[in-house]
Structure 1
Amino acid sequence: MGRSTKVSGASVPKQATRRQQNIASYLYGVVPGDTKLSRDDRGLGDPAGEVQLVRHGEIAVLMSDVNVDQPLGQPGDFLAYERLLDSVAAKAPVLPFRFGAVMANPEAVVEELLKPFHDEFLGALQELAGQAEYIVKGRYVESAVMGEILAENPEAAGLREAIRGRSEDVTRNERIRLGEIIAAGIEAKRDMDTRMLLDALASHFSTAVVREPTHEQDAVHVAMLAKVDEQRALEKALGRLGERWEGRVNLRLLGPLAPYDFVVAQEQGV
């Protein structure tokens, strides 16, 4: 283990040197062995680390050196992790590791991870071939959704009139009840609109996951696994739905991204 080993055309430092410098291997994800990296693909750290491909058989791991004396989670680390994985996902399938996956050295990556789990990783990559994750986020226009709820619920409309122009202290109970009705109303509309979105886009994704809302006025928040070369068709279909919801829901599409919601590589031995 003391000799230098070739990894992706680069010479890996001797293990004694790595230990002296407290250098370990940070893992980003598993990719096909023939994946090509661009000069812009950089890892986390300051300065950003050079990314290597540690190959075995038909698969490889995206890896960069990391100083284990420096805690992970520094400002920008998670963004760098996502930026690299999303960049690769636009051109090749990738199985992301959870943030913070570290192994001792490239040799350990091969012996403890790639060799014993080669076939499982390869099979998962083949299932993902040509696909990436896309996120659809939509947020209600506050005035529009409030107007719908007040028009549909006489109690809410009455409470709205009852508190108009009166102090919060005097109308505390009415305000609490109105807030409960509005929250329930938005939740019901979110469920209905999410089903409508999934139906409208059904032919443009292979599988989907409904994410938890990140804001009280979120209308839809869905992760989809879709073909990268059919992104334009997905955008057009979402645009048609956006036209139907104009003035009611603001929609946006994020992607292509690594398939975080659909597969996370198991860091066996990490």
Structure 2
Amino acid sequence: MARSTNVSGASVPKQAARRKQNIASYLYGIVPADLELAPDDRGLGDPAGEVHLVRHGEIAALVSDVNVDQPLGRPDDLLAFERLLDSVAAKAPVLPFRFGAVLANPEAVMEELLKPFHDQFLGALRDLEGQAEYIVKGRYVESAVLGEILAENPEAASLREAIRGRSEDLTRNERIRLGELIAATIEAKRDMDTRTALDALAAHYSTAVVREPSHEQDAVHVAMLAKTGEQRALEKALSQLGERWEGRVNLRLLGPLAPYDFVVAQEQG
């Protein structure tokens, strides 16, 4: 148990230490009350990101102590937040909070969050039982997609020839137009290839959300809610799609993750 000492070396009650240091309860998510945390489950805050459960009925809040006088939101904080929730999602349903949710203390977590919203949270957890989020990301192979565009679009091919070997100053307008054509064509291909991926993987997810591209050459960027027990089947189906797109699109699967795209618990109170 964490302890604080005064100048004479005598121990100070933990609650007094919390008030003195302006310690609050950082909220990660709602989980089943019978969840068992692993020894390496760590979040942000002190001591060493130690996390614990505040239980009520059949649900619990996953929390850690943080000093609210210290800034939160550093890249390491966000990584710790996501790493903890993703670790939990691999073994139990979890309703993630938005990054930055804090309540005054464990008593506030109980009275303002768990008690009044117990049934709603429990229902959502049951809906997620055995499922987690998976992200499918695909990135076009630049030379391959450019070759497709030039072969399919005579104007793009003509512009490419017009600028070949000529200075940027003399071909500024042509380069701008070519860039516009390439961007528009990639967007259209992305829409088509995303539908192809969703159809190819349809048997392996319950619902999906198309994410905004994270890169101009993204071919696919979708979040899927899928059963963790059938991850190998999802991986096999994605591998088969990758074989169809070999040399054209590089695919990868991320997960299991907390279901950020499908349900986010809101701090109440």
**Which TM-score tier does this pair reach, normalised by the shorter chain?**
over 0.9
Give 1:192's aligned residue.
Answer: 192
Rounded to whole Å, the distance in 2 between the matches of 1:47 and 1:33 is 23
Give 1:8's aligned residue.
Answer: none
Matches within 5 A, 1:69-218: 69-218=69-218
AA paired with 1:106? Answer: P
Post-superposition offset of 1:45: 3.0
Post-superposition offset of 1:47: 5.6
Say if 2:139 and 2:217, in contact at 8 Å, map to a contact too: yes
Rounded to whole Å, the distance in 1 between the matches of 2:71 and 2:78 is 12
Question: 1:72-97: per-residue Cα shift (whole Å, max 9, x none)?
Answer: 01241000000000000000000000
SS at match of 1:82: helix
Rounded to whole Å, the distance in 2 between the matches of 1:15 and 1:108 is 14
RMSD of aligned residue pairs (Cα, Å) = 1.0
SS at match of 1:76: helix
* TM-score, normalised relative to structure 1: 0.94
Post-superposition offset of 1:46: 6.1
Question: 1:79-118: per-residue Cα shift (whole Å, max 9, x none)?
Answer: 0000000000000000000000100000100000000000
Rounded to whole Å, the distance in 2 between the matches of 1:239 and 1:183 is 27
AA paired with 2:223? Answer: A
Rounded to whole Å, the distance in 2 between the matches of 1:18 and 1:177 is 62
Unaligned runs of 5+ in 2: 1-12
Query: CA 1:47–1:148 in 2, change beyond 3 Å: closer, same or farther?
Result: farther
Rounded to whole Å, the distance in 2 between the matches of 1:161 and 1:14 is 74
Deviation above 4 Å: which 4+ runs of structure 1?
Answer: none
Give 2:245's aligned residue.
Answer: 245
AA paired with 2:139? Answer: R
Say if 2:45 and 2:64, in contact at 8 Å, map to a contact too: no
Unaligned runs of 5+ in 1: 1-12
Say if 2:130 and 2:227, in contact at 8 Å, map to a contact too: yes
SS at match of 2:55: strand
Q: Number of matched residues?
A: 257
Rounded to whole Å, the distance in 2 between the matches of 1:15 and 1:48 is 19
Question: 1:116-138: per-residue Cα shift (whole Å, max 9, x none)?
Answer: 00000000000000000000000
Rounded to whole Å, the distance in 2 between the matches of 1:74 and 1:266 is 21
